[in-house]
Every structure is written in C-alpha cells, then in structure tokens.
Amino acid sequence: MDKNKFVFLDSEQKLDKEQTRKSLTYWHDVWRRLKKNHLAIVGLVGVVIVILFATIGPMINPYKYNRQYLDYKNIPPLLTVYKLGDDIHVFLSEMNQLILVSEDGKLLETFSLAEADKDFDAKTYTYRLFDEENVEVAVVMVDFAYQTDPLKRVEGIRYSFTYEDVEYKTPIGKVWNKTFILGSDKNGRDMLARLMYGTGISLVIAFVAAVINFFIGVIYGSISGFFGKNTDIIMMRIVDIINSIPLLLYVILLMVVLKDSWFEINVLNKLFGTGGLGTIIITLISVYWVGMARLVRAQVLSLKEQEYVLAAKTMGVRNYKIISKHLIPNALGPIIVTLAMMIPTAVFTEAFLSFIGLGISAPRASLGSLANDGASFMQTYPYQLVIPAVTIAFMMLAFNFLGDGLRDALDPRLRKG
C-alpha cells in the first residue's frame, strides 16, 4: 500500500477517545477534594489570616506590646465624645481621665488632675490643660454630684468650661479609637499589639509542640506496631502510664521541678527566653505525643501484613527502611489529619494553662494570659476579655474546619467524590 495515501497524526492528536480528563496525582486529587469542602476553605483562609496577623501585624503596628502609655490606661475601642467648645472634643474615661481627642477619635493629650483639684465633698473634679510652655489654656470642672451610678456618665456630663457657667452636655456620638484601635489595658499598653504578640506566642507553642510530637509519636508508634510482641506490650504500657496522669497535675509538678533549675536557666531560657515559654513547650511535647503514637501503631499493625511489606522483607530490606519507605508514607493521611487537629488542641491547652497562671508569665503575653488579665476587669472593661476570647475561638474554629476538611480529603473511606 502507498503510505502517501495515509494522513499521519502528530503526538498531540494521539489521544484516547475515552480519556475525559488529565490524570491526577494523589496530592492533586486531595487538593481537588479539599476545594469542594467550603468549610475547609473557610478554615484555610482563617488560618492564613491568623498567621499573617501574628507575623506581619507587629511589623505594621507602630506600638510595641510591652510599651506603657500611662496617660491612657483602660481606654476602650469606642469613645464617647463631648464637644465643649470650638474644636475642643474630650473623652471622659471610667477612671475619671479627661482626654483631649480629635473629632474622628484620635487621642491628643490628657488633662491634668491634681489632688488639690479633687473636691470630694462637692463631688467635682477640675481638669486643666497646659500648652508646651506650661501655660494653662483650658479648665474643665466636671460635676459628678448629680450621678448616683457612675455608669450613667455615658449619657452626659455636667461641666464648666474655662470658668464659664455650669452646663449639662450630652455626647455628640461614639467614634472609634484611632490611636488604640482595640483599646488599651490597665497599664496603658496597646491591646492590638499585645493581641498580635500573644497570637504569635500561642502559634509558636502550638506549632513547635505539634511538630515535635509528630516526630516522637510517629517514631514511637511505628516501632511499637512493627516489631509487636513484647516490644509492643512494654511500649504501650509506658503510653498508658503517661496517659493516666492528669495534665494539670503533670504541669504543676513539671513547673515546680523546672522552676529556677539548671535546665531552665541554661537550656530553656537560652532557647526560648524567659517568661515560661520553654516550660510550657516541654510540658506539651512530654504528653501530647501519646495520641499520635497510638494512631501510628494502629496504622502500622494493619499495613505490615500487606504483600509489599512481605516482599520487602523477602528481598532483605532493613526494618528501618521498611518503616520509613513503606509503612509511614502509606499512613501519612491519618497522620496529617491528627497533626492538623493537634494544633488547636495545643492552642487551647496553652490558653487554659496561662489563664489559670501556670503558663506564659510577664513580660511575655499569650492569648490565655491576656484573657486572664481581662477577666479581672470583665464588668468594667469587658473588651479586655472579649477580644482575646474571640481570637481563641476564631483560631479553634479555623484549625478545626481545616482539619475536618483534610480528614475528608485524605481518608479514602470518608471521600464523597
């Protein structure tokens, strides 16, 4: 036959007619399934926001987490502003601080309040504002005598401006605090800066503890499951003993032993700095690996009976290579899911321990210690407790949504197509 009568196809046209889509790798298929889970994507976006907030945020925010502005203690995020004169706007705090603010809510200067200007009998405070040359430019006398409840101060103040007649003034409205966006704490520190720093500390503790627990749990569980028999019995009984000790009791005992010890001073403080960061990390990595070890052991017990493991043993492959090359990679799906769920658990545990005073201490700050500080002023300054509590809840939800999505995408028994 004459070959010139045939039309030859190039390589791009030689496609199987039954082929409907490009073949996917395992991880491409995981990502495809993960994208279908809307809650998982919401969790992934939330995790990215939290990480950027804790890493990029402190670089943008002009205030430091430990810098004290003693003139601006317990200033809330929302300011009740009064207009006393032309371009004279003030905010009266719950601590009886009178602050000169701009119309849009920026803190400008505090009025001075001397002890001699406090008339407790008449229940009046006389505030004075001075310029750079220490010349008195304004005087505000606030009369609290008409009030039976200090919380009613938000409804209005009775005042005399620069020795004029006493008037009753209602606020012109509420504006957002442009200086401290999330307010300030009892020491005049920026809540936003402390929240960024505390979130970063909580994430560092969670990630370090999760990664170290990942390696300890995977190695321990794979050895126990692969060798079995007496090795498995002894290793699992150790796990049972560790798991039987209550976490709170274990933390208290560990902190008592480590406090001011040679190990804490020369090792933990040099690696992680002062403030209890190293102690809380050591505590978490000493306990939390047992769950990972149990999971890996169960996976290895089922996988080591597969034909490819028997083939590897027949070929003379060493045990550590069978574990590292065959067993652990095939159990990676459940391991990654457990690792993802470990992070929110570690965040919550650290927050709980810091809240009860057993975790991070001054000068450092974490979400738990911020919530502990805010709990003391919950009735007067609720934002100091609400802000870290909402942040903890947001982080927990984000990581849990992402972990649930990874479980559905990685576990073939839970795949929905």
Residues of the chain falling short of pLDDT 70: 1-2, 9, 11-24, 145-157, 163-169, 259-260, 274-275, 411-417
Inter-residue contact 84 to 98 (CB < 8 Å): no
The 10s digit of each residue's pLDDT in 200-222 is 988 988 888 888 888 999 999 99
Q: Show the domains of the chain with their CATH numbers.
A: 78-176 (no CATH), 191-414 (1.10.3720.10)
- The pLDDT, as a whole number, for residue 21 is 59
- The pLDDT, as a whole number, for residue 148 is 45
Q: Is the pTM of this model over 0.85?
A: no
Helix (H) or strand (E) run with residue 143 in it: strand 136-143
Distance CA 35, CA 147 (A): 58
379: phi then psi, degrees, rounded to nearest 5: -75, -35
- The pLDDT, as a whole number, for residue 184 is 92
Percentages of the chain per state (helix, strand, coil), in multiples of 5: 55, 15, 30
